[in-house]
């Protein structure tokens, strides 16, 4: 069965030990690994390795010895508790072993947790998990973490008392760094706040956040928010040469303008902006004002939808550059 993103996040936290297996696949190996780590921890507990309730193997090993997966799920452990067989880096060369194990599985056998890359819809392994009544398949895509995922990461790290402004700042940070770096930042915050019962503050986040978060993307966002339309083209050419993607630029711009909007609407005197460009961004938020920033966010949402549309044929970078120029001109009206 296929799991939606929302249902998958719930399942990763509370997996069903009576299911046959779970396939997690996606192009970003770090994101897949983090989800696999989460589900195995929730399924088996912290002592699974020591109690030999977890078997590990690779897709290449399964290809060479197709019977090893069936043997692993049928093996009886010395310790009580749920068991799992983790098979990583699987593609269709390992399909005979995986499909045989799915067919041979019976209640009481170890659950299979399988990870792979960007498996196509025609993949034999993916189709087998999606069509199996007692197994799940989950695709992990390069979308920023949801609020639920951020809250789960904070809870798992033991970080409590996160006010709204700090949660908003963490949401912005999660969109600018990769999942592994974000998880390390959350763990760093947990250590930083050890013995400190006060709520997490923006200063705490700034002290633990990576010192550099896509500085090149920040350059174009500053150019746009400062209404320097004439400088957008040259900076975009540099970003293209460095391998920036249209969706990545759009996500970064959305994060930047949402932060400006929160600052423009803030009445507490403590705007939720942190990092090396804080003073400059505060000045931008005052210059733009909330109404124009709302228009900017709407424009960026439209661009994001166009980029992700199946019927989109225009070059993505040209679409983003044209949108950035419109934003810069909007600021001067």
Rg (CA), the chain: 23
Over the stretch 91-129, which tens digit does the pLDDT of each residue have?
A: 999 999 999 999 999 999 999 999 999 899 999 999 999
Residues with Cβ within 8 Å of residue 15, at least 6 apart in sequence: 22, 39, 42, 43
Residues 101 and 174 in one domain: no
Mean pLDDT of the chain: 87
Residue 32 in any domain: the answer is yes
- State whether 13 and 113 are in the same domain: yes
pLDDT in tens, 122-132: 999 999 999 99
pLDDT at 271: 66
Domain stops at, among 193, 212, 231: 212
Same domain, 24 and 89: yes
Burial class (CB in 10 A: 0-12, 13-18, 19+), 115: buried
Domain count, the chain: 3
**Per-residue confidence (pLDDT) for residue 255, from 0 to 100:** 83
Phi-psi region of 163 (alpha: psi -120 to 50; beta: other; left: phi over 0): beta
State mean pLDDT over 41-60. 91
**Domain assignment of residue 332, yes or no:** yes
CATH number at residue 86: 3.40.50.300
Q: Is the residue at 147 inside a domain?
A: no
Query: Do both 50 and 135 map to the same domain?
Result: yes
* pLDDT reported for residue 98: 95
> Domain of 330: which CATH number?
1.20.272.10
Residue where a domain stops, chosen among 168, 187, 212: 212
Question: Do 10 and 134 lie in a common domain?
Answer: yes
Kindly provide the b/e burial profile for residues 149-172, where b requires at least 16 CB atoms within 10 angstroms of the residue's own CB: bbebbbebbebeebeebbbbbbbb
Beta bridge partners of 112: 21, 85
| Structural domain of 227 | 214-333
- Classify residue 275: in a domain, yes or no: yes
Asked whether residue 275 falls in the same domain as residue 299, the answer is yes
Place of tokens 């947990």: 190
Does 74 share its domain with 23?
yes
């Amino acid at each position: 069965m296929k799991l939606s993103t929302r249902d998958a996040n719930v399942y990763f936290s509370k997996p069903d030990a009576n299911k046959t297996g779970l396939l997690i696949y996606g192009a970003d190996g770090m994101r897949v690994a983090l989800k696999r780590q989460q589900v195995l921890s929730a399924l088996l507990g912290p002592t699974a390795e020591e109690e030999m309730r977890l078997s590990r193997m690779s897709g290449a090993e399964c290809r060479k010895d197709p019977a090893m997966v069936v043997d692993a799920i049928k093996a009886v452990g010395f310790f009580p508790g749920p068991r799992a067989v983790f098979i990583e880096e699987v593609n269709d060369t390992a399909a005979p072993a995986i499909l045989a194990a799915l067919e041979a599985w019976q209640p009481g056998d170890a659950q299979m947790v399988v990870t792979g890359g960007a498996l196509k819809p025609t993949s034999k392994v993916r189709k087998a998990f999606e069509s199996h009544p007692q197994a799940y398949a989950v695709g992990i895509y390069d979308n920023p973490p949801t609020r639920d995922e951020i809250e789960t990461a904070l809870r798992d790290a033991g970080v409590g008392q996160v006010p709204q402004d700090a949660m908003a700042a963490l949401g912005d940070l999660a969109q600018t760094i990769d999942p592994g770096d974000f998880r390390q930042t959350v763990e760093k915050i947990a250590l930083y706040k050890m013995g400190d019962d006060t709520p997490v503050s923006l200063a705490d986040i700034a002290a633990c956040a990576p010192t550099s978060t896509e500085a090149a993307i920040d350059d174009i966002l500053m150019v746009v928010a400062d209404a320097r339309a004439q400088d957008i083209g040259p900076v975009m050419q540099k970003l293209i040469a460095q391998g920036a993607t249209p969706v990545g630029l759009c996500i970064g711009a959305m994060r930047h303008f949402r932060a400006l909007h929160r600052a423009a609407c803030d009445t507490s005197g403590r705007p939720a902006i942190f990092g090396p460009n804080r003073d400059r961004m505060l000045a931008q938020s005052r210059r733009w004002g909330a109404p124009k920033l709302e228009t900017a966010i709407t424009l960026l949402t439209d661009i994001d939808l166009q980029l992700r549309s199946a019927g989109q044929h225009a070059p993505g970078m040209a679409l983003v550059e044209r949108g950035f120029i419109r934003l810069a001109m909007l600021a001067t009206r």
